[in-house]
């Protein structure tokens, strides 16, 4: 799946200690959520993670410490 704003591939990030996560434009959150649900991938969303002009524009999808980043990336790439 491509980011609707950058037109680049949505990339699962694995830096840090919190586990894999994904930055997603808010407008794309429903589509990404559907893909994750279809693949039975558990996640939590922080919808107001990144703001511009005092309004949320980017959500962070957190997959948790034990999530399989390669499996999540494969699901996103197949969408």
Domain boundaries, the chain: 21-78
Whole-number pLDDT of residue 55: 78
The pLDDT mean for the chain works out to 92
Whole-number pLDDT of residue 52: 78
CA–CA distance, 48 with 46 (Å, rounded to integer) = 6
Alpha carbon of residue 37 to chain centroid: 12
DSSP 8: S
CA–CA distance, 56 with 50 (Å, rounded to integer) = 6
Nearest to 39 by CA among 75, 79, 66: 75
**Is residue 69's pLDDT more than 80?**
yes
């Amino acid at each position: 799946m491509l980011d609707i704003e950058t037109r680049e591939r949505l990339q699962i990030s694995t830096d840090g200690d919190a586990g894999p996560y994904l930055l997603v434009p808010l407008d794309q959150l429903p589509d990404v959520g559907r893909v994750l649900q279809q693949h039975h991938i558990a996640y939590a969303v922080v919808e107001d993670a990144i703001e511009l002009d005092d309004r949320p524009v980017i959500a962070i999808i957190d997959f948790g410490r034990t999530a399989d980043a390669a499996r999540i990336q494969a699901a996103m790439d197949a969408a």
